[in-house]
């Protein structure tokens, strides 16, 4: 059975040379990384105010540092799943392709995707809040070992924090501007594994749709975006995306 249903969807995908994709935590669920909302979501067990905000870090930097170290360890033990690999494949077959992600896990890059726009930063890096120095995993671990209170500080004395966007913080300007341009200029926008609950990332599919793009959603459940999607491919990303990409190749006469 085809996952690209309808004549219009087929016609548009056959011709589309500019595709933008937005991914959320759902795409990494089949790699074993929990999503945020829903019954097994991280925010059911942990408090975003305590663990994912500047105020939380200010109150208890050791706890926040440990939480990100714990999550980084889990993420480093996972692998890209067939959905990540299918997106790397899709990038190779269209002229212009942008992969915008809210995920901090770097699984898209590990799957081979090249043009990845990280809207919420990434968990592999940390930076000094005073001088801005960036620490990769090894550098960070080396500094971390030196502080018994589990609150690593930079040589300049500044606190070192994960390179992720916390609640209440703006998105990295350049990344959002690039994502915005991709959304308003693309022919097809595909939203995968995101609830569409967190703005401004969740605005991107809307900007795309209102600027004439065909909006596709891939998600096993309804989201805040489902009602505006032109096509909802209902299913788990790891199961339906590989088939979706194969079908796009066939439509384009590549198979």
Stretch that binds ligand OAD, among 33-41, 54-62, 91-99, 124-132 (CB under 6 A): 33-41
Going by the DSSP 8-state scheme, the letter that residue 104 receives in this structure is: -
Stretch that binds ligand OAD, among 8-16, 133-141, 148-156, 215-223 (CB under 6 A): 215-223
Contacts of ligand OAD in 142-181 (CB under 6 A): 165
Our finding on whether 28 is near ligand OAD (CB under 6 A) is no
Our finding on whether 41 is near ligand OAD (CB under 6 A) is yes
Strands (DSSP E) found in 61-213: 96-101, 116-118, 121-128, 134-135, 160-164, 188-192
Residue whose C-alpha is closest to residue 187's, from 214, 210, 205: 214
Cβ burial of 40 (10 Å; 0-12, 13-18, 19+) is: exposed
Helix (H, G, I), strand (E, B) or coil at 224: coil
**Closest residue to ligand OAD using C-beta atoms:** 26
Q: Which of 24, 56, 80, 242 binds ligand OAD (CB under 6 A)?
A: 24
Our finding on whether 102 is near ligand OAD (CB under 6 A) is yes
Does the active-site annotation cover 84? no
Between 26 and 154, CB nearer to ligand OAD: 26
DSSP string across 11-80: HHHHH--EEEEEE-THHHHTTT---SSSTT-HHHHS-HHHHSBHHHHHH-HHHHHHHHHHHHHHHHT---
Stretch that binds ligand OAD, among 8-16, 35-43, 127-135, 137-145 (CB under 6 A): 35-43
Distance of alpha carbon 28 from alpha carbon 102, whole angstroms: 11
Between 64 and 154, CB nearer to ligand OAD: 64
| Contact footprint for ligand OAD (CB under 6 A) | 24-27, 29-30, 35-38, 41, 52, 102, 120, 165, 193-195, 197-198, 219-221, 223, 236-238
- Which residues are catalytic, by number? 120
């Amino acid at each position: 059975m085809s996952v690209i249903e309808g004549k219009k969807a087929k016609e548009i995908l056959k011709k589309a040379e500019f595709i933008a994709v937005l991914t959320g935590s759902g795409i990494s669920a089949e790699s074993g990384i929990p999503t945020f909302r829903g019954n097994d979501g991280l925010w059911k067990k942990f408090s975003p105010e305590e663990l994912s905000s500047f105020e939380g870090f200010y109150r208890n930097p050791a706890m926040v540092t440990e939480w990100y170290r714990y999550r980084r360890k889990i993420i480093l033990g996972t692998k890209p799943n067939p959905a990540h690999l299918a997106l790397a494949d899709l990038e190779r077959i269209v002229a212009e392709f942008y992969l915008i992600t809210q995920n901090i896990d770097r699984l898209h890059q590990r799957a081979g995707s090249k043009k990845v726009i990280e809207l919420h930063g990434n968990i592999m890096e940390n930076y000094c809040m005073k001088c801005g120095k960036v620490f990769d995993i090894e550098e960070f671990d080396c500094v971390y070992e030196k502080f018994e209170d589990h609150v690593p500080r930079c040589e300049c004395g500044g606190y070192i924090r994960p390179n992720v966007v916390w609640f209440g913080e703006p998105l990295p300007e350049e990344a959002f501007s690039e994502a915005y341009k991709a959304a308003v200029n693309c022919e097809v926008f595909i939203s995968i594994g995101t609830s569409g609950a967190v703005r401004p990332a969740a605005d991107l599919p809307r900007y795309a749709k209102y600027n004439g793009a065909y909006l596709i959603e891939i998600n096993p459940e309804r989201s805040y975006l489902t009602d505006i999607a032109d096509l909802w491919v209902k299913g788990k990303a790891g199961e339906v995306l590989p088939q979706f990409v194969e079908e796009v190749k066939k439509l384009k006469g590549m198979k």
